[in-house]
Structure 1
Amino acid sequence: MTQKQLTQMGYGENGVVVDLRGFRHGLNCLGIRTGKRLEMITRQPIQGPVVVLADGVEVAMGREVADMVMVEVDG
């Protein structure tokens, strides 16, 4: 398995959060925490938001925040 930033995941790619790089509180409120499985839904161009699926819920976050989320991707 490969680790990458959330913003580097491809559309439809799945993975498990392995690190939040010091930004835990705000993401925990969104349901994003270490060990959580995510699926990339969309990345908007030109610094737009990143949208992931977490436990059947779409979660949108800014690119700066998504850059702090490290994911171990499947495959």
Structure 2
Amino acid sequence: MEKKLSEMEFDEVGTVKEIAEDLRKQVAGMGIREGKNIRMATKQPIKGPVVVEVDKSFTSLGLGVAEKIVVEVG
């Protein structure tokens, strides 16, 4: 099932399927690329940032960025 990264639940794991064109370079520097496994490490309430784990590294993303990344879960 596909969902936005911002919609993932705490500790949910998925594979990055699609990244908005305007964000690809920005998030590639954080290790987030299509085909990479990603885990939701922390999710802040009320439109706060999310913290994800990619390749044993943690990075924080604003909610607006997380909404432009599609992940395959399940």
Q: TM-score range by the shorter chain?
A: over 0.9
Q: What are the equivalent positions in structure 2 for 1:14-29 lying under 5 Å apart?
A: 14-22=13-21, 23-29=23-29
Shift of 1:63: 0.3
With structure 2 as the length reference, what TM-score do the two structures score?
0.94
TM-superposition CA deviations, 1:41-70 (whole Å, max 9, x none): 111112211101101111111000000010
TM-superposition CA deviations, 1:17-62 (whole Å, max 9, x none): 0000222010001100000100111111122111011011111110
Provide the rounded CA distance (Å) in 1 between the counterparts of 2:41 and 2:17.
Answer: 19
Provide the rounded CA distance (Å) in 2 between the counterparts of 1:19 and 1:59.
Answer: 18
CA-based RMSD of the aligned residues comes to 0.8
Structure 1: 5+ residue stretches without partners: none
Residue 27 of structure 2 aligns to a residue in which SS? helix
Identity across the alignment (%): 40
Matched positions, count: 73
Provide the rounded CA distance (Å) in 1 between the counterparts of 2:2 and 2:46.
Answer: 23
Moved over 4 A (4+): none
Structure 2: 5+ residue stretches without partners: none
Q: Report the structure, 1 or 2, having the larger helix content.
A: 2
Residue 27 of structure 1 aligns to a residue in which SS? helix
